[in-house]
Structures are given as structure tokens and as C-alpha cells.
Chains A and B, each alone.
Chain A
Amino acid sequence: MDAFLHQVLAGLATGGIYASLALALVMIYQATHLVNFAQGEMAMFATYFAWSLINAGMPYWPAFLLTVVFAFVLGVVIERVIIRPVENSPVLVIVVVFIALLVILNSVTGWVFSYTIKTFPSPFPAEPIFGQYITSHGGGAIGVTLVVLLLLYAFFRFTPLGLAMRAAAQNPESARLVGIRVGWMLALGWGLAAAIGSVAGMMVAPIVFLDPNMMGGVLLYAFAAALVGGIDNPGGAVFGGFLVGVLENVLGAFVIGNELKLAVALVLIIGVLVVKPSGIFGKVMVTRV
């Protein structure tokens, strides 16, 4: 029982990280109906930025905040400079751009920082502070994730800008008719998604270690999370993230073994697509033909 509880809590800790990245995917999906394959690499790139700051002697939390800001700006710039020129192109063109972005970010990071695996510090102490069942980094990561989710919820629910972003995602034409600059709302969405992703990156790096490919697996779990919850539902994506995290850990520990952990994500993705493509909380899309 103890071991089980331990695995569940550890699953919640990584699940929060998947939830954050899944949320980033959902945000861009809601506004553009596209899945940003480069979301993970953007997070990884931001995490390297954090590593450089910390290595240069900056204390952890200032470096953390500066990285979130850096990621936000990076997201906005990528949308304005790279995505905007192709936004009206066929889906396939945009997907290729996403993949190009993934490859470019990955190789540029490898070229600048080398592919050697690096350790990334955790801001939380090494001795357990949340009891015996969970590491302090695990508990801390859950806390950070919850704070991020709460801030996002408050932003979208209670601020005029958040309302405008929801409006622009839902009905761009009407949004323009009330004077909302829809293009900028998209860019802002990219910025926010990248910022959330950077938090996920910094939280996962102490666990998986820092290397240019570190987000590959995480992104796959995040896809699974977003699909399980419903790719158009932010709350669903968060739920999916925690669910996938727990499933991955529990199944990995007791059923299929650690080597096949990643397969859990793939089985979930395929299973959801076959059985219930809209996910648990997603809306069923009906299109008139």
C-alpha cells in the first residue's frame, strides 16, 4: 500500500508537468485548431536559458521568473515572425513549419550547449518536507503547477484581456467587430503557452536531466493528456495530465515495468482516438456537409 501511495503521488507530480504542457497545447489549439509540435522544444530551449542564468550565478527564483518572461517573449516573436506569414496556408504547410521549428530549436540548442546531459537544480530542498511519500521536488512541482493553473484561470475568467482572448479564439470575426486586435491575441496566446511550457520544462528538468531531447517523452504524455481530457477543454487537459501521470507511474511500477512506460501514452492516444475522439470532457464536433 505504501509503495502504491508513493507511486500515485510521484505520478501526480509528473502529471502536473504534463498538465501544464497539455494546457499550452490546448491554448493554441483552441485559437487555431492546430497542435503545436514544437511546444516541447520551446520549453526545452527556455529551460536552457534558465540553466545559463543559474550557471552565471543568478539565484533560482529570479532566474525562474526571468525565464518565464523570456519564454513569453519567445512565444510572441515566434508567432509574429514565423507562424503569422503562414497562418492562412493549408494545414500541412503549418504542420511542416511546426516540425521545422522543433528540429531547429533542438539542433540550435545542441549546437550552442552541446548534447551532453546536464543536471538542473531543483529549488526545493533535498530532504523530504512533504512527508515520507513524496520527494520535496515532487510536492513542490505540484504546488508550482497549481499556482500556474490558478493564475491562468483567474486571468481568463476575471480580466478584460483574458475575456478578449477567449472571444478572439471563439469567434474572430465578431471579436474584430468589437475592436479586438485578433492577431495580437493569437500572439499573446503563443506567449502564454510558451511561458507555461517553460515552467513545465524547469519543473521536469531536475527529474529527467537537461538535454536537448528531454521534452520528447514529456510532449508525448502531454498529447495523451490533452486528448484524454478533450483537446478543446483546458480543464480536461489538466485532469488528463494528472491522470496520465498517475497511470504512467502506477502501471510502470506494478504492471508493465519501467521500460514500457512511454507506451502507456501511445496506447492512451490510440485508445482515445478510437473509442472517444472528443476525449472525456471535449465537445463532439458536428459539421454540416
Chain B
Amino acid sequence: MAAILEVSNLHAAYGPTRVLHGIEFAMEDGTITTLLGANGAGKTTTLRALCGMVKTQGEVKFAGERIDGKATEDIVRKGIAHVPDGRGTFVNLTTEENLRLGAYTRRGRDAVESDLERVYGYFPRLQERREQQAGTLSGGEQQMLAVSRALMLRPKLMLLDEPSFGLAPLIVRELFEILRTVNAKEKVSMLVVEQNAAMALDLADHAYLIETGRVVLSGTADQIKSNDAVQRSYLGY
């Protein structure tokens, strides 16, 4: 299996505050990987660094090609869709306009129209709300919208930042089920950052544990799940 993402010696800082201290990890094509870690460990920053949203040093390869130092919009155009924390909704636009923006870089009207139907198939609720201002959607619906908007790009890799944040457990389960389906059916690789470690490990094939800007543990999801330290600190056994 080819690596879709290879990150080596990645450093990042907000002004003088250094957040990432040489993160290293890799992802195989078609798999789901999760980054676990406490608040402030650098999970969100890692995702932002991959998308060129913070200044970085180090090397990031996407499908064998260097993407570090590139502009966010150019990275996105290569097929990386980022579902940011806070969901990044265009609150004054309608649900459908939000979705169409997801396909902004794509050509071919028919494919975009059929993809609209495809995401409405995953999330029928969004179809009911297609003409509604996106800012008036509930938190769960906005998260569905954010995931759908990312899918409209037809990405090779999706970066999901805390998809479960602020959602009712039932909705989280539904959302994760759909992520699993998308991964299995459309072979979209996913890098998921989560505080809900148990859910993330159930979803993922591989996991990395990040502490203060470094990877301290890695392995398959099952290995990580059975690790004593992880169980104590993150799974609450």
C-alpha cells in the first residue's frame, strides 16, 4: 500500500509559541488514522499545519509530493479536504450554497449535481434544509454540512478536526457510521483528531498519541486500545 501522507520532523509555532516539536507520522492510502492527545497537545495545529494554515518547518508529502509551504488553496486543490473545528460554516449562505462551494474547484456540472444528490443521500436532513440559511442549522446539522462540504471536493484525504465536538451521542454515532461508509465505499483516507478516544479508536485503523507537540506512541488502533497508559489516561478504565 502506498503512503498517502508522510509527515517528518514537522515544527509549527504561533508567533513565539512553539506548538509542534518534530511530529512524525505516515498514513496508508484508504485508511483511517486518528491523532489522540490531551487539550493543547497540538492535534488541531497538526491538521492546520498540513493545510498550510500555520507557518511550518519540516516535510509533508501528500501522495509522494511535497506540499509543505504551499498555499492553503493549492493544497486543497490537490484533494485534501479539511473539516475545521468550529465547522467553518458560511453562516449567511444557504445549505446548498455551502455545498456548492465545496465543489468550487471542480469542473463538470453533471458530476457536481450527482454529488449533491450523493451527500443528500448520506444526510437526508440537509436536503430538507437546502434553502435554509446555514447559520440557523443545529450544531449536528452544521457538522453534517461541514463533512458534506468536504465530500463535495471529491477528496483523496479528509482531515477531520473533532467531528464529535458538542454533539449528542446519538448524532455522533450516526456521523461516525457515515464516515466509515464513505471510507469503505469511496476509499477516502481520513485523518481524524478526537478527544473522544474510544469512538476514534473504534473508527480508525491506526492511531498516534501526541503529547506536547510530539508523537509518543503509535500503532494499530487495537494495539493502542490495549495499551495500559492509553487506557488509564484516555479511555478511562
Enumerate chain A interface residues (CB-CB to B < 8 A).
Answer: 160, 163-164, 166-167, 170-171, 173-182
Contact partners of A181 in chain B: CB under 8 A? 73
Cβ contact within 8 Å between A179 and B93: no
* Inter-subunit contact A174/B73 (CB<8 Å): no
Q: Which residues of A contact B82 (CB under 8 A)?
A: 177
| A-B contact sample (10 more), CB < 8 A, given A163-B97, A170-B93, A177-B51 | A160-B100, A163-B93, A163-B104, A167-B93, A176-B71, A176-B73, A176-B76, A177-B72, A177-B82, A178-B102
- The answer to whether B105 has its CB under 8 Å from any CB of chain A is yes
Complex alpha-carbon distance, A179 and B72, angstroms: 7
B101 touches A167 (CB 8 A): yes
Contact present for A179 and B153 (CB under 8 Å): yes
| B106: nearest chain-A partner, CB-CB | A179
Can you give 7 contacting A-B residue pairs, CB < 8 Å? A170-B91, A171-B91, A173-B88, A177-B82, A178-B105, A179-B153, A180-B104
Tell me the complex Cα distance, A176–B71, Å: 9
CB distance from B105 to the nearest CB of A (A): 4
**Is B34 on the interface with A (CB-CB < 8 A)?**
no
Partner of B84, one of A174, A179, A182: A174
B125 within 8 A of A: no
Interface residue B233 (Cβ < 8 Å from any Cβ of A): no
Interface residues of chain B, those whose CB is within 8 Å of chain A, are 51, 53, 71-73, 76-77, 81-82, 84, 88-93, 97, 100-102, 104-105, 149, 153
Known: A160-B100, A163-B97, A163-B100. A177 touches B76 (CB 8 A): yes
In the complex, chain B residues whose CB is within 8 Å of the CB of A166: 90, 92-93
For the residues of B in contact with A, the DSSP-based class is loop
Q: B72's closest neighbor in chain A, by CB?
A: A176
3 nearest CB pairs, A to B: A174-B88, A179-B105, A176-B72
Q: Which residues of A contact B77 (CB under 8 A)?
A: 179
Q: What is the bound-complex CA distance between A193 and B2, given in angstroms?
A: 49
Q: Which residues of A contact B92 (CB under 8 A)?
A: 166, 170
In the complex with contacts A170-B90, A174-B88, A177-B82, A164-B73 CB distance below 8 A: no
A161 CB to closest chain B CB (Å) equals 9
Contact partner of A179 (CB less than 8 A), chosen from B88, B90, B104, is B104
For residue B45, give the distance in angstroms from its CB to the closest CB of chain A: 15
Given contacts A174-B88, A178-B149, A178-B153, contact A163 B101 (CB under 8 A): yes
Docked-complex contact A180 and B53, CB < 8 angstroms: no
| B145 to A: closest C-beta gap in Å | 11
Q: How far is the CB of A283 from chain B (nearest CB, A)?
A: 10
Q: Which residues of B contact A180 (CB under 8 A)?
A: 73, 101, 104
Closest to A184 in B: B73
In contact, A178 and B72 (Cβ under 8 angstroms): no
